Structure 1
Amino acid sequence: MSKPFPIFRQDMTIEEMSNAANRYIECEWKSLYDFMHKDLTAAFWEIEDAAYGLYLEQLMPTIFDQLENAGFSLNDELEETDFVIAKHLIFRNSIEKWGTEDNRSRVFWNVVCDKRGHALGTLLTEIPHSHLKFDIPSAPVIYSLRGVLKEEIVQGIRRIKEHGLNS
C-alpha cells in the first residue's frame, strides 16, 4: 500500500494540522482495514480491544512521523506504567464513554508544540470500534482544540462528542 503522506508545515494552525491528518486517514483507513481485517478479527478473539491497537500501529505513525519531520513535537510525558500505541497514543490520555457496545468511541489526545516548545493546541484521535467483534464502523477522525490543559481538553472532547462542536 502506498502512503500519501500528510504534509505539515511550521506555519500551520492546529486546525490545518487536523485537516491534513484527516485527508491522509480518509485515503488510507479503509484499505488498511480491509487488508488487516482477517488477521485482526482472529486477534480480537484472543486479545480483544488490543486488536484495535494493532490497527492503529499501522495507521497513525505516518501522521506522527510527518508532524515531527515538520519540526513539531507531541508533548508526551511518559510514566513508567503508560501503555502507548502507534508511538504517541497514550491510554492515560484518552476517554472512552460514548456509543453502544457495537459502536464505541475512544478519543486520545496529544498536545502539539512548535520547534520552540510552545503549545499550539491539541489533536484528538477518535477511533470508533466494537466491543462485540473486530469492527471499525467508520473512519477514525482527528479533531483539533486550541486548549492544551487537561481540563480544557476533556471539556473539548465532551463538547465534540455530546454536541458535535469542534473548537
Structure 2
Amino acid sequence: MVKGSTIFREDMAIEEISEVANRYIESEWRSLYESMHEQLTAAFAEIEDAAYGLYLDQLMPFVFEQLEDAGFSTMEKLNENDFVIGKRLIFRNSLEKWGTEDNRSRIFWNIIYDKQGSPIGTILTEIPHSHLKFDIPSAPVIYSLRESVKEQVLQGIRRIKESG
C-alpha cells in the first residue's frame, strides 16, 4: 500500500473497508513488528501488555486517518478515564477472552459512520498477543459487522471467535 494514496472511498460498504484495511495491515505489520521488536521487548519487561499499545500506535493510525479522509467517522465521545491506543481503539470497546497465555486475542470495535452520521457497520480489530513475552504470533485482523448496536456487536464478536 502506498502511504501517499487514499485507500478508502466514501461509497464503500463495511465489508470493503475491512478488506482494504486487512490488505494494508498484511503489507505493514511484520516489518513494523520486526523494526520495533527490540524496543517493545524491553518495554514489555516494564509495562507488560501496554507494549502492544505502543505497537498499535504505529500500525493503526493510518487506517483511521484514511477512513476520516474518505468522509467516515470512527470516533465516539470519550469518557474522562478512557484509554485509547492506535488513534481510535478504546479499551472499554474491547474484549479479551480467547486463546492461551502465549497467544491471546483482544478485539476492539469501532462503529463506522458515513458523512451523514449514519452507522454503516462496525470494524473489529483483533490483535493476537502473548502475555508471557512480547510476541505477536500472527497478523492483526480486521473483521466487519453490519451491526452497530453494542449488544449486537458483542454477539457478532462471539460468533466470529466461536466459529473460527
* Bin of the TM-score, shorter chain as denominator length: over 0.9
Looking at structure 1, the residues matched to 88 and 127 of structure 2 have their Cα atoms a distance apart, in angstroms, of 14
- The percentage of counterpart residues that share the same residue type is 72
Query: Which residue of 1 is the match for residue 14 of structure 2?
Result: 14
Query: Which residue of 1 is the match for residue 127 of structure 2?
Result: 127
Post-superposition shift, 1:155? 0.3
| TM-score (normalizing by structure 2) | 0.97
Post-superposition shift, 1:115? 0.4
Post-superposition shift, 1:118? 0.4
Post-superposition shift, 1:4? 7.0
The 1:153/1:6 distance shift into structure 2, 3 A limit, reads farther
Query: Which residue of 2 is the match for residue 79 of structure 1?
Result: 79
Deviant stretches of 4+, over 2 Å: 2-6
1:111-158 deviations in whole A, cap 9, x for unaligned?
Answer: 000000000000000000000000000000000000000000000000
Looking at structure 1, the residues matched to 12 and 104 of structure 2 have their Cα atoms a distance apart, in angstroms, of 31
Q: How many residues align?
A: 163
1:30-109 pair list within 5 angstroms: 30-109=30-109
Looking at structure 2, the residues matched to 120 and 135 of structure 1 have their Cα atoms a distance apart, in angstroms, of 33
Tell me, yes or no, if the aligned pair for 2:10 and 2:70 is still in contact at 8 Å.
yes
The 1:58/1:80 distance shift into structure 2, 3 A limit, reads same
Looking at structure 2, the residues matched to 33 and 130 of structure 1 have their Cα atoms a distance apart, in angstroms, of 14
The 1:6/1:36 distance shift into structure 2, 3 A limit, reads farther
Post-superposition shift, 1:3? 3.9
Looking at structure 2, the residues matched to 67 and 58 of structure 1 have their Cα atoms a distance apart, in angstroms, of 16
Looking at structure 2, the residues matched to 64 and 25 of structure 1 have their Cα atoms a distance apart, in angstroms, of 12
Three-state SS of the structure 2 residue aligned to 1:39 is helix
The 1:5/1:154 distance shift into structure 2, 3 A limit, reads farther
Query: Which residue of 1 is the match for residue 27 of structure 2?
Result: 27
| TM-score (normalizing by structure 1) | 0.95
Tell me, yes or no, if the aligned pair for 2:6 and 2:70 is still in contact at 8 Å.
no
Which amino acid in the other structure matches residue 127 of structure 2? Answer: I
Tell me, yes or no, if the aligned pair for 1:5 and 1:63 is still in contact at 8 Å.
no
Which amino acid in the other structure matches residue 22 of structure 1? Answer: N
